[in-house]
């Protein structure tokens, strides 16, 4: 027995929601976030602006921005018991699983968890965004047997995040590049993790549960996990020629090359990747060492010529994070942390106009 609907593997091209949050306009090659172009935002605005845009619907005025920064800073603290839970995790725990555990544990500290009103959800989202850098960094540190690091509220949101990661106060240049990566990762229409979060939210479940599911989705290397996979691949060799060979070998072995391809931009470069390629160039220039850029460009060329495939954001995020001195295990958790703004906006939108997701199947089992 089957329904009359056509089955589309991977739901390729299927419309899953009506949204006012974002849209990948492939015809005009624009990533639209609430009417603004993400690439323009990455040149003229910072992550905090985009957080406000996603959650409050418009870019902030100067005073709203200051208020938002204060709101985030005042929510930096993590309950000690959550840190204790994280300290009990075995050291082979994947950093994304550490983050997932910490995020999930925070739900028990929300005294208003059953309140799904717009205001309650928004306030919850901002509180979580305040806590995410400390949860992300300290879950990683505790799993690795390192001391917990406390946030520095005198720094900007992104500078503090980077400071907690590296243990050193970043230069303005480093903080700005890191901020740009957060901004570019903040929202991207209907990737697997957003769909996951919306599906969970559609049962009237809460933001913590929806986000926790989002972490699990983002961990996979076909999605967010690709950024760390790219860096492991780059670290396998030392020169552009060797990297070219490595990629060619992977293609001969019919392996997927991480950081390439995209469901929506399969035959074009992800516009966000170009921005981070430029950031990598700037970082190489500062260091006076262009090796990583040369390797990435060599990989890009082989993939374009041999497969007609182009880099996605993760391909250039990886070497940028490497050059900022960020441990590889934190690449995907940072992606999630930045994406929390977009995911929360989607969960709020789903709660505000909800119908439970419940698709059908084509049955191909035993006859009956």
Ligand X SMILES: CC(=O)SCCNC(=O)CCNC(=O)[C@H](O)C(C)(C)COP(=O)(O)OP(=O)(O)OC[C@H]1O[C@@H](n2cnc3c(N)ncnc32)[C@H](O)[C@@H]1OP(=O)(O)O
Ligand Y SMILES: O=C([O-])CC(=O)C(=O)O
Has 97 been annotated as catalytic?
A: no
Selected from 71, 94, 263, 281, the binder of ligand Y by CB under 6 A is: 263
Q: Is 256 in the site for ligand Y (CB under 6 A)?
A: no
The residue whose Cβ lies closest to ligand Y is 191
**Active-site residue (options: 262, 270, 346, 351):** 262
Has 262 been annotated as catalytic?
A: yes
Measured between alpha carbons, how far is 227 from 247 in angstroms, rounded to an integer?
16
Query: Which stretch in 104-112, 165-173, 290-298, 304-312 sits in contact with ligand X by CB under 6 A?
Result: 304-312
Q: Is 223 in the site for ligand X (CB under 6 A)?
A: yes
Selected from 116, 131, 180, 188, the binder of ligand Y by CB under 6 A is: 188
Using CB under 6 A as the criterion, what x/- string covers residues 243-282 for binding ligand X?
-------------xxxxxxxx-------------------
256 touches, from ligand Y, ligand X, none (C-beta below 5 to 8 Å by class) = ligand X
- List of E strands, the chain: 22-25, 30-33, 36-37
Residues in 53-82 that interact with ligand X by CB under 6 A: none
Q: Is 339 in the site for ligand X (CB under 6 A)?
A: no
Contact 136, 333 (CB under 8 A): yes
Residues in 306-325 that interact with ligand Y by CB under 6 A: 312-313
Contact 76, 69 (CB under 8 A): no
Strand partners, 32: 23, 37
Has 52 been annotated as catalytic?
A: no
Contact 102, 139 (CB under 8 A): yes
Contact 120, 347 (CB under 8 A): no
Least distance to ligand Y from the beta carbon of 342, Å? Answer: 9
**Which of 54/142 has CB closer to ligand Y?**
54
Contacts of 255 (CB under 8 A, 6+ apart): none
Measured between alpha carbons, how far is 143 from 93 in angstroms, rounded to an integer?
7
Backbone angles phi, psi at 202, to 5 degrees: -70, -10
Q: Is 344 in the site for ligand X (CB under 6 A)?
A: no
**Which of 124/188 has CB closer to ligand X?**
188
Q: Is 151 in the site for ligand Y (CB under 6 A)?
A: no
Q: What is the 3-state secondary structure (H, E, C) of 34-99?
A: CCEEHHHHHHHCCHHHHHHHHHHCCCCCHHHHHHHHHHHHCCCCCCHHHHHHHHCCCCCCCHHHHH
Q: Interface with ligand X by CB under 6 A: which residues?
A: 10, 191, 222-224, 226, 256-263, 307, 309, 312-314
Q: Interface with ligand Y by CB under 6 A: which residues?
A: 188, 191, 262-264, 312-313
């Amino acid at each position: 027995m089957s329904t009359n609907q056509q089955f589309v593997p991977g739901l390729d091209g299927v419309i899953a929601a009506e949204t006012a949050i974002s849209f990948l306009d492939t015809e005009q090659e624009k990533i639209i976030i609430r009417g603004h172009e993400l690439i323009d935002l990455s040149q003229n605005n910072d992550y905090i602006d985009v957080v406000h845009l996603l959650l409050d619907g418009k870019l902030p005025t100067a005073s709203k921005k200051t208020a938002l920064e204060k709101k985030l800073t005042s929510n930096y603290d993590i309950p000690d018991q959550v840190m204790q839970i994280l300290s009990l995790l075995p050291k082979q725990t994947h950093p994304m699983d550490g983050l997932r555990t910490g995020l999930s544990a925070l739900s028990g500290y929300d005294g208003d968890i059953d309140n799904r009103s717009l205001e309650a959800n928004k306030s919850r989202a901002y509180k979580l965004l305040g806590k995410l850098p400390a949860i992300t960094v300290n879950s990683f540190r505790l799993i690795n047997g390192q001391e917990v690091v406390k946030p520095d509220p005198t720094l900007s949101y992104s500078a503090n995040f980077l400071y907690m990661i590296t243990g050193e106060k970043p230069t303005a240049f480093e903080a700005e590049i890191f901020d740009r990566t957060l901004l570019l990762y903040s929202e991207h229409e209907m990737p697997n993790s957003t769909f996951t979060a919306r599906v969970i939210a559609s049962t009237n479940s809460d933001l913590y549960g929806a986000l926790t599911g989002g972490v699990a989705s983002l961990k996979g290397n076909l999605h967010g996990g690709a950024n760390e996979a790219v860096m492991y691949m780059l670290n396998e060799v030392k020169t552009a020629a060797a990297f070219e060979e490595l990629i060619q070998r992977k293609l001969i072995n019919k392996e997927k090359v991480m950081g390439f391809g995209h469901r929506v931009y399969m035959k074009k470069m992800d516009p966000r990747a170009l921005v981070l390629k430029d950031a990598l160039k700037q970082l190489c220039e500062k260091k006076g060492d262009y090796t990583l850029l040369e390797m990435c460009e060599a990989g890009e060329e082989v993939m374009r010529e041999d497969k007609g495939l182009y880099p996605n954001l993760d391909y250039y995020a990886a070497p940028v994070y490497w050059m900022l001195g960020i441990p590889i295990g934190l690449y995907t958790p940072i992606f999630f942390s930045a994406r929390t703004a977009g995911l929360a906006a989607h969960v709020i939108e789903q709660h505000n106009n909800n119908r439970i997701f419940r698709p059908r199947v084509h049955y191909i089992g035993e006859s009956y």
